[in-house]
Amino acid sequence: MAKKEQLIADIMGAQQRLQHLFAYDRSDPLFSSHLTMSQLKILFLLSRHGNVSGGELARLLGVGLATLSGTIDRLVAQDLVVRTEDPQDRRVRRIGLTEAGDKLIAGIITAGAEKQHTLLSRLSADELTVVAEAMRLLVRAATNDAPPDANPPE
């Protein structure tokens, strides 16, 4: 068991070093967006849950509707979210990402992909085969623990 724990520690250490090497590329779209933490949380929640009612979004954030309203107004003004009428209940406003909001979140999530591609291109075909198999194993293990609504792209 000690060997397995050492391997886990080695893998986690390597992953942490890679994260530090990629940190600059990953933080660039995040910092250039000039969004507050509350605004980012809203965008990430909408990315995960799709269009939701204002009340549902307030519950997900743990804030009141009044607090949420001003933040949503600012995101609407930046063309990152849109309010629409709920087709079942005209009193309810649904909030969803615009194309620009979706693109921003996708950019934050995938930031550093070019650097990762460059890094992977330096490996031989045999080395890439090992990395690809390791990634398949990790994705399979992570998928088993993922909540039902976590559907990463394949």
Tens of pLDDT, residues 86-118: 888 888 899 999 999 999 999 888 887 888 888
Give the start-to-end residue ranges of the domains of the chain. 33-111, 112-146
**C-alpha 56: how far from its chain's center?**
20
Is the pLDDT at 149 greater than 80? The verdict is no
Non-local (6+) Cβ contacts of 72 within 8 A are 42, 54, 81, 83, 95
Percent of the chain with pLDDT over 70: 93
Q: How many residues does the chain have?
A: 154
Non-local (6+) Cβ contacts of 144 within 8 A are none
Is the pLDDT at 150 greater than 70? The verdict is no
Percent of the chain with pLDDT over 90: 60
Is the pLDDT at 40 greater than 90? The verdict is yes
Residue 144's pLDDT band (cuts 50, 70, 90): confident
Reported in sequence order, the residue ranges of the chain that DSSP labels E, i.e. its strands, are 52-53, 81-85, 93-97
CATH fold for domain 33-111: Arc Repressor Mutant, subunit A (1.10.10)
pTM equals 0.72
